[in-house]
Chains A and B, each alone.
Chain A
């Protein structure tokens, strides 16, 4: 897949800060304008514009047949999307919060992920499942889960998560264009993060499956994604005072996994820490650490470490700051990279 740009007719250069939520919304609007088969559906996505306002204005602009308020039933939302895809539409489904997606898991795992395979390619499933995920917004129970490991464990799904406003646009455009199902994890605490990216200016479509080096460094690599990317960037700045020059790799896509970019970085730096919010045990970090170890063993100066959420159900909002991996916990791990054999 190649990177290309799209320009809106009334493009103006005036750059004003845009939020990630706006970038996502524009991605859907641009896709819907270009392709009449793109349909948005979910609970509250129409009149209300979504509880995070990510679909704001789409029903007004494209009509309720293109941006549809569904009955409140996640399995039904995704199940009907399967049928719509069978008839040639490209449904973009919103699951209001991470934990609300669980009732739809059977549809996802038994049908969405394997329909192409089951039918030997005759029935692709070009469905995007948008899932606002992760903590840090003071949500009550069932509103802050990081469920990426469940999705990663299911062959046939792509799992994508942007960390920047630019990527939110570029990756969602690519997800909608993809002929395969994409779980699009939106870090909800970054919805209001801003960038000089203009909602009007030309914007790039980013290929799925390519990690990016967010910050060059020489002492160690922080491998991260989604809501933990800003944490790692801050940690990398703070580490300079300790004499550490950290490289930060933003995975952007968990499936497919970009072994090439990650391995190249770790081979350069010789040390690696995987950082994510999701639980450590059975979490994405274990898979990533194993892959890095298999590919970079002779280049490693220390074991690959993980900084993850604790292995607990997501905590109540007043305690979540103790659970979420923050800058200090990342720096502690970096300090542990001064590892000596036998220690």
Chain B
């Protein structure tokens, strides 16, 4: 220790004394943007149970309520269809309906929605035929609808890979002079994927009119958020890209709708992208094939049941005199009618044409595909002859 100190003292010289050459100081470093306005608030935004509800349009509140009730029934019906073998799989959003519904209602007709495989309900709330929305999960085709019709991209099964699509579409729309916004949905697990990073980075650099909407439901199948990220929150990630991050209570339909609408409006006016994280919870298992009891306890689920999005809104509306017994029954009946129609239509076997296998691989079939189509045609003919 002594010798070290000695040695260092021998090389120490008075500042500047023996320097014949003075290096030019580098340019002073400046942060590119003040990170403070980009940071999310410490607490997720809540509107229900606060005075802020008074500012909300009663018509919107009633509509949100009806959609939540319908959404809950849709989740239950679709889950029942998996038990009857009518759906191969259904990733439920029970408990997350506020996020799904608000995402759909925050968009204008000309905007685009980029759902993940779990976001069937958002697509339905946007107006898509429930049966068309379930085609992927039933297994009769990979996408049951024309994405241009409702401006809903195909439900995306790989994680986060639809986020760059949303950026590209929003960017292209802006280049064409259209004030179109893309809203891209992803789960907490999806934020770990490389495409999440690349999409956010592209969007911020291009100032593309995109809203990234993370539904943090606590688990990526079985892996809890603590094992997914070390970030203070997923919304904090926004700061690193140079876009605002917003935290919202994902079970507060009014708050989610408000935050998403603000982000969409900001994007539409040329303000660039926003990352919104909604804190919510998946009440059901990942899918019908998952056993959630292996990774979480009943008490945790019960805590979240008490913070149910429908309960929260129903209580608020009732207190404010916007909802009575008749209104509740009306919403429940409308949901039941939807479920009955869905059940009936899903009980019919879909009519499939095997020749479709070759119809859309390329704009024009290659010679090889023409040969293979002929082979299948012959096999089908032989089958039908054999009865």
**Chain A residues proximal to chain B, CB less than 8 Å:** 39, 65, 70-71, 73, 75-76, 78-89, 91, 103, 106-107, 110-111, 114-124, 155-156, 158, 178-180, 209, 255-257, 259-260
Contacts and interface: CB of A to CB of B under 8 A. Distances in A.
Contact of A116 (B168, B171, B361): B361
B56 interface: no
A39 B175 CA distance: 11
Q: Is the interface of A mostly helix, strand, loop or mixed?
A: mixed
B172 A116 contact: no
A83 B195 CA distance: 13
A124 B363 contact: yes
Contacts of A259: 367-368
Interface string B232-250: 0000000000000000000
Contact of A117 (B147, B168, B172, B360): B360
Contact of A75 (B146, B195, B359): B195
A73 B205 CA distance: 13
A119 B143 contact: yes
Contacts of B363: 116, 121, 124, 178-180
12 contacts: A70-B202, A71-B201, A75-B198, A76-B199, A79-B168, A79-B195, A79-B198, A83-B169, A118-B141, A119-B154, A119-B360, A120-B141
Interface stretch (B47-55, B159-167, B301-309, B344-352): B159-167
Nearest to A79: B164
Nearest to A255: B366
A83 B362 contact: no
Given A76-B195, A180-B363, 10 more contacts: A39-B175, A78-B164, A110-B161, A119-B143, A120-B141, A121-B363, A124-B363, A155-B361, A178-B363, A256-B367
Contacts of A156: 361-362
A184 to B, nearest CB: 16
A120 B146 CA distance: 8
Given A118-B142, A119-B154, A84 B198 contact: no
Nearest to A109: B158
A87 B210 CA distance: 14
B169 A103 contact: no
B201 A121 contact: no
B176 interface: yes
B153 interface: yes
Nearest to A257: B368
A80 B164 contact: yes
Nearest to B170: A83
A305 to B, nearest CB: 23
Contacts of A121: 359-360, 363
B148 A76 contact: no
A85 B172 CA distance: 8
A82 B359 contact: no
A71 B205 contact: yes
B237 to A, nearest CB: 16
Interface of B: 141-143, 146-148, 153-154, 158, 161, 163-173, 175-176, 182, 194-195, 198-199, 201-202, 205, 356, 359-363, 366-368
A136 to B, nearest CB: 30
B115 to A, nearest CB: 14
Contacts of A158: 362
Nearest to A117: B360
A73 B201 contact: yes
A106 B158 contact: yes
A166 B262 CA distance: 53
Contacts of A256: 366-368
Contacts of A65: 175
A153 to B, nearest CB: 14
Contacts of B360: 116-117, 119-121
Contact of A82 (B165, B170, B198, B362): B165
Contacts of B171: 80, 83-84
Contacts of B194: 75, 103
A87 B158 contact: no
B164 A83 contact: yes
A71 B202 contact: yes
A91 B164 CA distance: 14
Contacts of A116: 360-363
Nearest to A260: B367
Nearest to B155: A118
Enumerate the 6 nearest inter-chain pairs by beta-carbon distance, A residue then B residue, closest first: A83-B168, A79-B164, A76-B198, A80-B168, A83-B169, A87-B172
Given A117-B360, A119-B154, A120-B360, A86 B198 contact: no
Nearest to B172: A87
A150 B148 CA distance: 31
Nearest to A116: B360
A86 to B, nearest CB: 5
A78 B169 CA distance: 12
B202 A76 contact: yes
Nearest to A259: B367
Contacts of A155: 361
A87 B165 CA distance: 10
A258 B295 CA distance: 55
Contact of B366 (A39, A85, A88, A209): A209
A87 B169 CA distance: 6
Contact of B161 (A79, A84, A118): A79
B315 to A, nearest CB: 41
A156 B358 CA distance: 11
A111 B168 contact: no
